[in-house]
Amino acid sequence: MSRIGKKPVTLPSGVSASLSGQTIEVKGPKGVRNFTATDDVTIAINDDIVSVTPRGSSKRARQQWGTTRTQIDNLVIGVTNGFKKELEINGVGYRAQMQGKILKLSLGLSHDVNFETPDGVTITSAKPTEITVEGIDQQQVGEVAANIRKWRKPEPYKGKGIKYKDEYIFRKEGKKK
């Protein structure tokens, strides 16, 4: 039995949900998001509560039960609060700055990296060594942050590179003479 799937999703004030077939659409102050569930689960909306139940007791139905509930909860969180990933840049001469919708990264390469901001995501750089990626789609925010980080992953000897704010870099000792 899914312990996550049993828990209903409550809709806060200012958020509305509508169901058409297996597609649920959630509207909130930050925007509109929708999710299409598989045929293995049944979605029901009563007042301000969204509940998910499996159809049958097959393994796939039980797997989709918790997954669908979590996806719907992420839709509600996205349209109310949004999602945020914070990145830090470590290294001498490494910096970032926003120019319109383009993030300019100086990462010790022979050229500056121009990273285009996709639709649905906002990128800000308050300091030259900090980047914040925000949006209402958790998957898209994570993917954009990972694509920025991919340009210069943190290395284990000096810790130079782009890392997540809460990430711990395991340090290695250099060669001994």
- Bridge partners (DSSP) of residue 52 are 43
Q: What is the pLDDT of residue 1?
A: 62
User: Which residues of the chain, if any, have pLDDT below 50?
Assistant: none
Q: What is the pLDDT of residue 5?
A: 82
For residue 154, being part of any structural domain is answered with yes
Q: What is the pLDDT of residue 175?
A: 87
Q: Which of 51, 80, 109 is the last residue of a domain?
A: 80
**pLDDT tens digits along 100-125:** 899 999 988 899 999 999 998 999 99
Q: What is the pLDDT of residue 6?
A: 85
Q: What is the pLDDT of residue 132?
A: 94
Q: What is the pLDDT of residue 2?
A: 66
For residue 170, being part of any structural domain is answered with no
Can you give the C-alpha Rg of the chain in angstroms?
21
Q: What CATH number did the domain enclosing 62 receive? A: 3.90.930.12
Do 115 and 141 fall into the same domain?
A: yes
C-alpha–C-alpha distance, residues 139 and 37, integer Å: 16
Do 51 and 66 fall into the same domain?
A: yes
Sign of the dihedral defined by the CA atoms of residues 139, 43, 48, 14, in that order: positive
Do 35 and 51 fall into the same domain?
A: yes
With contact defined as beta carbons under 8 Å apart, do 24 and 34 qualify? yes
Q: Which of 80, 110, 133 is the last residue of a domain?
A: 80
Q: What is the pLDDT of residue 165?
A: 92
Domain span at 88: 83-164
C-alpha–C-alpha distance, residues 108 and 106, integer Å: 6
**pLDDT tens digits along 33-44:** 999 988 888 989
